[in-house]
Amino acid sequence: MTYVILSSKMGFYHTDISDDVRPCETYDYVFCGQKKAKFVIARLLREGKLRVVDETPPVVTTEVPSKFLPRFQTIEAARQQLQDLVRFGSMDTVLEKQP
């Protein structure tokens, strides 16, 4: 299996879930007590395109081929990468797993 990390930043952009991926885990990224982003670890079912929607005017939609996304062979490797992405020394950062 192959996993990818999808991201969305509230008020700026969001990544739509397509039939080409199956969401496995969702995390909120909290910085200094404020929710800043959402990350979804998803299993890549097949090559395809993921839609990224820019939420700031003018709204622009971009389709990104999945072949350009970093891939992880295990969900544990994707989790570790996500932890590495959000860690900034001693700054107040938290990943909150959603049910």
The CA–CA distances, whole Å, from 55 to 5, 8, 83, 94 equal 20, 10, 26, 24
What pTM, to 2 d.p., does this model score?
0.91
pLDDT digits 0-9 by tens, 44-84: 999 999 999 999 989 999 999 999 999 999 999 999 999 98
CB 54 within 8 A of CB 9: no
Per domain, the residue ranges of the chain are 3-98
